[in-house]
Amino acid sequence: MKIALIGYGKMGKAIEAVALQRGHTIGLKIDIDSLASFTPENLSACDVAIEFTGPHSAKENLLKCMDAGIPTVSGSTGWLEHRAEVDQRCREKNGSFLYASNFSVGVNIFFEVNKKLARLMSRQENYEVSMVEIHHTQKKDAPSGTAITLAEQVLQEVPRKRNWVNEPTGNPADLVIISKREDPAPGTHSVKYSSPVDDIEIIHTAHSREGFALGAVLAVEYIRDKKGIFTMQQVLGIS
């Protein structure tokens, strides 16, 4: 399988290493210095695209991939206000698209544990729920996309929480996410339920980018010959 890498920073290089290990080739590498190569012709010469860029470029990158008719996986964060537009373009082009806030196999299992725990805690009003996420200092967005996914899962199950916020507010209806930026820190996420008598806490800690890279490659392997909009839960068989 020939892969187009849209975004060739640390994550792109990690994806390249895993893809090569799994017998794939890299047909196109796009970064800030090679934007002239980001053409429909070059995209069409590849089988799939993996897009890991930033919040200001992701939407246009993804629309370009949809227009080129190439199955596309994206892990960019901070652009989701445009998600409906990208999904619609995918449908119009009869394409295939998968977005995930986190491609790690462990994190996607963690998502399922988080949903189950939130469901169990939904009526336990003596427990206050809060979250912490820790990433490296080069991460541009806060809270992380993974933290937002976790928070939205809690909000769906715990009716006493109405919205998430990225700082303490004192409002009992707010789900507080504390973001910390420290080096080195590939990513740690925790969800804690605290009461006067005990705490219940779940934590996922990434040790490297390799887990995220492997998940992204598994995702393009999954969607290559399919049409539609997919999730990592489908890729991993845990939906």
117-139, pLDDT tens digit by residue? 999 999 999 999 999 999 988 88
Q: Which residues of the chain have pLDDT under 50?
A: none
pLDDT of res. 54: 87
pLDDT of res. 208: 86
pLDDT of res. 239: 65
The residue to which tokens 């990433």 are assigned: 135
Identify the sign of the CA torsion 106, 225, 97, 6: positive
Assess whether 189 carries a catalytic annotation.
Answer: no
Looking at residue 201, its amino acid is E
Q: Domains for the chain: give ranges and CATH numbers.
A: 2-103+210-236 (3.40.50.720), 105-205 (3.30.360.10)
Over residues 151-184, the pLDDT tens digits come to 999 999 999 999 999 999 989 999 999 999 999 8
Which residues does residue 163 pair with via DSSP β-bridges, in sequence order? 174
Rg (CA), the chain: 19
Assess whether 180 carries a catalytic annotation.
Answer: no
Helix, strand, or coil here: 238? Answer: coil
Q: Which two tokens stand for residue 13?
A: 């290089």
Q: Rounded to whole angstroms, how far apart are CA atoms 139 and 117?
A: 28
Catalytic hit among 29, 139, 192, 227: 139
Catalytic hit among 24, 59, 64, 135: 135
pLDDT of res. 165: 98
